[in-house]
Chain A
């Protein structure tokens, strides 16, 4: 594989694995959410994210060019080959943490997709155009819920602040840059993640202020997911569930 193709593949895996892993987390809520409308909304979010994962990983498989499919990438890679940011694989916690994680990710995605629709790679631009419509209402909904719960009762406020304090150290990884990102930016395929930060901060700052939540000061960032250097312990358990049938009964049609 040519060096540039390898980098494109890494970029696609990063983008696709984010949505794959987060969709799985969100789908874990099925039947257990605080109210029926939320069961429906969470299922909807998970569905959109799986659809996006299918597109990104489908393209990744095509770029990889060895006859594999999006399903092969989702179900037959081990944890060290996943390239999602750690934020997406964190356990759901309570509903507040799930929605706050969703909002932080949606905010990042909304800025990213806005740039990717102008990608020099037509397939990337096409996927981003499709995804950006979904991402636009995801971020609207998750932002509304974060505001509602942050500016709700004393208890809901407290829980949201706890969730924010827990999640914040995982935010920075979304804006880390490395050689893959430099190559993507130079080729006009994707923006340098660092260049998304200002828009993200503006959006998140606005919503957190309305939610009466305090953004933690610490600039510390956990990382290792998008480079594959070191995931959390949680990813392995998720994959044990997600991949079990494919691993136990290899080569079947489902």
Chain B
């Protein structure tokens, strides 16, 4: 997941009559579930929207290393440390596939990184929350990756081929992450009273941020219509959020933890759980840069990039010298 509030680059959905012949042929492909591939003609706005969405998704994977990395050096057993490291390594790998998918649209990874650092591209709001105790690591795997999977399973059917294929691959790894996260928090919830307290604290803090990951309510989601018509987005924010709540509430109950929202109740008539709306003013604040960790996360990324400049330059220069020596020898 990790793509929220993607501003669709368009001035509203065109009717078939308003479309050019190229646009009509393009829309026909989409309507017939034929994937769009990098060399195919596509509307500029489709391209721009995808770059934003895939780029934001890639950035989220990369920034997402930080809250989990926060606990790698404090993981309580060798096995937990390995699982966590392997998970974070997977996230970095997802970042790579996604940057590559975005690059097929004619933007470079360096451009995207630069835009992120300049605040012109975003990453998911969830990574602006801190990981404060060990149970958070379980909760991140279970709730955050769990929410991501709900979105990404839907995105496997997205219209852009490289993005769809990246999602298929990523979903396989994410399911493993969610399972290991749930396993880790189970150990805490079923452990000593102190461990259970950590588990409850983690769920209480991360519940609303997790359900905010799906973005604003459909009624307030201004960019969705064109993205749905282009099948960049396949399900609405509220549909995905409901699906996540429905699958997660019984898991919280199984852990014997208190529900983090007193508004959670089974609604027989709807066949779904009711739940409280998150505090959307908090969400918009986090998106604007005022979350608990926005500044620290971005500073950490910018510092890594700037501190690494000499390394990238050095390796590039070496590659150039080596190539020159090879030419000279021939």
Q: How far is the CA of A72 from the CA of B80 in the complex (A)?
A: 14
B311 engages A149 (CB within 8 Å): yes
Cβ–Cβ < 8 Å partners of A34 in chain B: 304-305, 307-309, 311-312
Q: How far is the CA of A94 from the CA of B311 in the complex (A)?
A: 10
Q: How far is the CA of A94 from the CA of B308 in the complex (A)?
A: 9
**Cβ-based interface call for A182 (8 A):** no
Known: A147-B318, A149-B315, A244-B74. A31 touches B69 (CB 8 A): yes
**Cβ-based interface call for A136 (8 A):** no
**Cβ-based interface call for A241 (8 A):** yes
Could you tell me which residues of chain A, from 33 to 91, have a CB within 8 Å of some CB in chain B? 33-40, 43-44, 46-47, 50-51, 53-54, 70-71, 74-75
Cβ–Cβ < 8 Å partners of B317 in chain A: 152-153, 156
**Cβ-based interface call for A194 (8 A):** no
Shortest C-beta distance, A154 to chain B (Å), equals 9
Least CB separation from A42: chain B residue: B89
**Cβ-based interface call for B327 (8 A):** no
Known: A31-B300, A43-B92, A155-B313. A50 touches B82 (CB 8 A): yes
A153 engages B92 (CB within 8 Å): no
A155 engages B92 (CB within 8 Å): no
A96 engages B192 (CB within 8 Å): no
Least CB separation from B192: chain A residue: A252
Which of A33, A153, A241, A242 lies in contact with B314, CB distance below 8 A? Answer: A153
Known: A151-B321, A156-B313. A70 touches B78 (CB 8 A): yes
Q: How far is the CA of A152 from the CA of B78 in the complex (A)?
A: 37
Could you tell me which residues of chain B, from 73 to 122, have a CB within 8 Å of some CB in chain A? 73-82, 85-86, 88-89, 92-93, 95-96, 99
A148 engages B315 (CB within 8 Å): yes
B81 engages A27 (CB within 8 Å): yes
Cβ–Cβ < 8 Å partners of B309 in chain A: 34
**Cβ-based interface call for B66 (8 A):** yes
B73 engages A28 (CB within 8 Å): yes
Shortest C-beta distance, B80 to chain A (Å), equals 6
Size class of A's contact patch? Answer: 35 or more
Least CB separation from A40: chain B residue: B92
Least CB separation from A156: chain B residue: B314
B82 engages A47 (CB within 8 Å): yes
Cβ–Cβ < 8 Å partners of B304 in chain A: 31-34
Least CB separation from A24: chain B residue: B73
A-B contact sample (11 more), CB < 8 A, given A35-B312, A244-B74: A31-B65, A34-B312, A38-B311, A40-B89, A43-B89, A50-B82, A152-B314, A152-B318, A153-B314, A246-B77, A254-B134
Q: How far is the CA of A193 from the CA of B328 in the complex (A)?
A: 43
Cβ–Cβ < 8 Å partners of B86 in chain A: 43, 47
A residues near B, CB below 8 A? 24, 27-28, 30-40, 43-44, 46-47, 50-51, 53-54, 70-71, 74-75, 94-96, 145, 147-149, 151-153, 155-157, 159, 241-242, 244-246, 249, 251-254
A249 engages B74 (CB within 8 Å): no
B residues near A, CB below 8 A? 62, 65-66, 68-69, 72-82, 85-86, 88-89, 92-93, 95-96, 99, 134, 184, 187, 191-192, 194-195, 300, 303-305, 307-319, 321
A245 engages B134 (CB within 8 Å): yes
B73 engages A242 (CB within 8 Å): yes
Mostly, the B contact residues are helix
Cβ–Cβ < 8 Å partners of A246 in chain B: 76-77
A27 engages B73 (CB within 8 Å): yes
Cβ–Cβ < 8 Å partners of B315 in chain A: 145, 148-149, 152, 156
A50 engages B308 (CB within 8 Å): no
Least CB separation from A39: chain B residue: B92
A74 engages B96 (CB within 8 Å): no
Cβ–Cβ < 8 Å partners of A33 in chain B: 304, 308
Cβ–Cβ < 8 Å partners of A157 in chain B: 314
Question: Can you name 29 A-B residue pairings with CB atoms under 8 Å?
Answer: A24-B73, A27-B72, A28-B72, A28-B73, A30-B68, A30-B85, A31-B62, A31-B88, A34-B311, A36-B92, A40-B89, A43-B88, A46-B85, A47-B85, A47-B86, A53-B78, A71-B78, A75-B77, A148-B318, A152-B313, A153-B310, A155-B314, A242-B73, A249-B194, A251-B192, A252-B192, A252-B195, A253-B187, A253-B191
Cβ–Cβ < 8 Å partners of A251 in chain B: 192
A245 engages B74 (CB within 8 Å): yes
A36 engages B307 (CB within 8 Å): no
Which of A47, A147, A254 lies in contact with B89, CB distance below 8 A? Answer: A47
Cβ–Cβ < 8 Å partners of A36 in chain B: 62, 92, 95-96, 99
Least CB separation from B311: chain A residue: A34
Which of B69, B73, B308 lies in contact with A35, CB distance below 8 A? Answer: B308
B65 engages A54 (CB within 8 Å): no
Cβ–Cβ < 8 Å partners of B82 in chain A: 47, 50-51, 54
Shortest C-beta distance, A12 to chain B (Å), equals 15
Which of B78, B93, B194 lies in contact with A40, CB distance below 8 A? Answer: B93
Shortest C-beta distance, B114 to chain A (Å), equals 14
